[in-house]
């Protein structure tokens, strides 16, 4: 373990120093209360001051296929796993092609798009707790919008998915369509992904755009002109992002009486 800048492990590209350990194998790994777990670093912003907590970056990758069941390690790219299942004619994750997160992070936040969600296909989640590995069946978990309840405190090490047989050509066509829709509607550049959760079934971007905030900038952070629920970072710092999200929340509340809630997870003190 050594001091590293968290900016190098986050899609947003900002963040101060922390004690970072890259986890490629979970054998012998221990969990301590207060550890911060990162997958592919999406939907996360770290303070410019960094953090004193131990940060574990999950790079344990791999998947085993057994009929319609797939066991994936938590650091595996969700998009790569989706593509692998499509090639094998297994349906259920085709909506995830193009999503940049990891399997473990996707379970924690019940990632979803185009009417699909991770929770629809999860069979079991393996979690390393302070007491050791526990296996949690899907029947013990509650999957809701961008949230999974019932997971014990610890590190997700692996996930078992139960998928369904389907025509691989049809799955590939569906995935290509979803990927094209995502590319055409979402901006390029450094970001943490979607900034705010939908509110009462209405996209946060709807409110942000109608509040006239597209293009609004604080320092090196600006509201995307292409999709108002994305904050693009070009040479800024984490505090710029936090100030801009606060401004957005204030203006949207003043205009519509709607309290937006971040989808972003924050690390450290701001």
190 domain-assigned = no
**Domain range spanning residue 122?**
63-185
Same domain, 120 and 210: no
User: Does 194 participate in catalysis according to the annotation?
Assistant: yes
Q: 104: which residues sit within 8 A by CB, 6+ positions away?
A: 37, 39, 58, 74, 75, 155, 156, 157, 159
- Predicted local confidence at residue 236, as pLDDT: 84
Same domain, 215 and 116: no
Same domain, 31 and 116: no
Same domain, 33 and 18: yes
Same domain, 69 and 153: yes
- Active-site residue, from 19, 21, 123, 146: 146
199 domain-assigned = no
- Active-site residue, from 19, 21, 209, 263: 263
CATH number for the domain harbouring residue 256: 3.90.78.10
| 3-class state of residue 74 by DSSP | coil
86 domain-assigned = yes
Same domain, 180 and 70: yes
127 domain-assigned = yes
Same domain, 80 and 139: yes
Same domain, 110 and 75: yes
Same domain, 132 and 165: yes
Instruction: Give the domain-ending residue among 11, 29, 58.
Output: 58
CA dist 257 and 120 (Å) reads 33
195 domain-assigned = no
- Predicted local confidence at residue 2, as pLDDT: 82
Q: Which two tokens stand for residue 83?
A: 């593509």
- Predicted local confidence at residue 118, as pLDDT: 97
CATH number for the domain harbouring residue 42: 3.30.43.10
198 domain-assigned = no
Q: How many domains does the chain have?
A: 3
Same domain, 89 and 137: yes
User: Does 17 participate in catalysis according to the annotation?
Assistant: no
User: Which ranges of the chain have pLDDT less than 50?
Assistant: none
User: Does 146 participate in catalysis according to the annotation?
Assistant: yes
CA dist 265 and 189 (Å) reads 19
- Active-site residue, from 7, 47, 194, 224: 194
CATH number for the domain harbouring residue 101: 3.30.465.10
Residue 3, phi then psi, degrees to nearest 5: -75, 130
- Predicted local confidence at residue 32, as pLDDT: 94
196 domain-assigned = no
Q: Which two tokens stand for residue 69?
A: 């069941």
Same domain, 73 and 173: yes
Same domain, 72 and 129: yes
pLDDT tens digits along 226-249:
999 999 999 889 999 999 999 999
């Amino acid at each position: 373990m050594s001091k590293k800048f968290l900016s190098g492990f986050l899609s947003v590209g900002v963040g101060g120093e922390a004690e970072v350990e890259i986890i490629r194998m979970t054998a012998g790994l221990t969990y301590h209360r207060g550890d911060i777990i990162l997958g592919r670093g999406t939907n996360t912003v770290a303070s410019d001051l960094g953090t004193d907590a131990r940060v574990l970056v999950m790079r344990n990758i791999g998947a085993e296929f057994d009929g319609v069941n797939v066991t994936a390690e938590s650091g595996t790219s969700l998009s790569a796993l989706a593509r692998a299942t499509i090639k094998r004619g297994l349906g259920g994750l085709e909506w995830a092609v193009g999503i940049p997160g990891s399997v473990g992070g996707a379970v924690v936040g019940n990632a979803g798009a185009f009417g699909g969600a991770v929770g629809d296909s999860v069979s079991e989640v393996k979690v390393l707790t302070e007491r050791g590995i526990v296996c949690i069946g899907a029947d013990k978990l509650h999957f809701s919008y961008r949230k999974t309840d019932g997971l014990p405190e610890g590190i997700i090490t692996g996930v078992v998915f139960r998928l369904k047989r389907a025509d691989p050509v049809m799955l590939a066509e569906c995935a290509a369509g979803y990927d094209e829709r995502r590319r055409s509607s979402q901006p390029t550049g450094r970001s943490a992904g979607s900034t705010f959760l939908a509110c009462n079934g209405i996209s946060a971007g709807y409110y942000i755009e109608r509040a006239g905030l597209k293009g609004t900038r604080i320092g090196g952070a600006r509201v995307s002109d292409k999709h108002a629920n994305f904050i693009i970072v070009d040479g800024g710092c984490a505090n710029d992002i936090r100030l801009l999200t606060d401004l957005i929340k204030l203006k949207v509340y003043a205009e519509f009486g709607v309290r937006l809630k971040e989808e972003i997870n924050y690390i450290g003190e701001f």
